[in-house]
Structure 1
Amino acid sequence: MTPAERRRCSGWLEAALAHAGGGHTLEDVWAMVDAGEAQAWPGDHAAMVTLIEDEPQARRLLIWLAGGDLEELVGELRPRAEAWARTNGCQRVLIVGRPGWERALAPMGYAPLARIIAKEL
């Protein structure tokens, strides 16, 4: 991503980070993208960040951060990321997000797999 794209997408991703539990800053995210540990997907009115997770028996794409226009996220960025994931050997896509994602993505075959609960210490 160009510096201009990063600036344009920063607000959407910072909002997503605020819901993600506070473990990363936007600077951490850009460092991961720069290191090739994460993938940035900028759109015109939305952005998302993905990670490939390798387990002993499977590879999956995690849609970690997403913010901005829901239609662009669901209809444009998600399909591009899924196609890229297939070409990189991923067998599954996981999404970390709020419950609204379940409703928005159900027509595309997404279904709940597990629930994550948390407690601050």
Structure 2
Amino acid sequence: MTVLVGIPPETVDRVWPLIEERIEEACAASRGKEAAFDIRRSARHGEKQIWIAWDEAAKDALAVVVTEIAVYPRKTVCHIQICIGERRERWQQHVSVIEAWAKAKGCRGMSLVARPGWSRVLKPFGYELTHHLVEKDFHDA
């Protein structure tokens, strides 16, 4: 059985060895916006939240999700910043755990920036593709 576990800020350091490699991999794909250290620091301070899809039988982390609450003038949303793991079909349905937590925190929606395939994965859960993010780095800056 797989469960999604929210990691309280005070226990981030205890679970970090289980997730650090995946967080580093995700940050490497973020075009230099953040490093794993930055995620760890923000999670310790409660600015970001870490979620682990935990395989109880194998005693192993299948996936890591990092969220943050984004407060806009007219709406607060829970933004999924990172979602990385393996055997997605065993834990993807647990997005409902994050949604329930977000609602309890006063969020009125969810958002994420992800590879195009995620829009197909999340469609059965009520998500719809609304934007594509296109980026450019200035290499001379």
Which residue identity does 1:62 align to in structure 2? H
Residue of structure 2 equivalent to 1:112: 129
Residue of structure 2 equivalent to 1:74: 92
Residue of structure 1 equivalent to 2:3: none
Which of the two has greater helix per residue?
Answer: 1
Cα offset, 1:18, TM superposition:
2.1
Contact 1:5/1:42 (CA < 8 Å) preserved in 2? no
33, 36, 51: which one aligns with 1:23? 33
Aligned-pair identity in percent equals 28
Residue of structure 2 equivalent to 1:33: 43
Which residue identity does 2:84 align to in structure 1? G
Residue of structure 2 equivalent to 1:103: 120
SS of equivalent to 1:56: coil
Gaps of 5+ in 2: 1-10, 55-61
Give, in whole Å, the separation in 1 of the partners of 2:12 and 2:69: 22
SS of equivalent to 1:117: coil
Which residue identity does 2:93 align to in structure 1? G
- Residues 51 and 42 (structure 1 numbering): CA distance in 2 closer, same or farther, change over 3 Å? same
> What's the TM-score once normalised by structure 1's chain length?
0.91
Contact 1:48/1:73 (CA < 8 Å) preserved in 2? no
The structure whose Rg is larger is 2
SS of equivalent to 1:43: strand
SS of equivalent to 1:6: helix
RMSD: 1.4
> What's the TM-score once normalised by structure 2's chain length?
0.79
List aligned pairs for 1:43-82, cutoff 5 A.
Answer: 43-44=53-54, 45-69=62-86, 70-76=88-94, 78-82=95-99
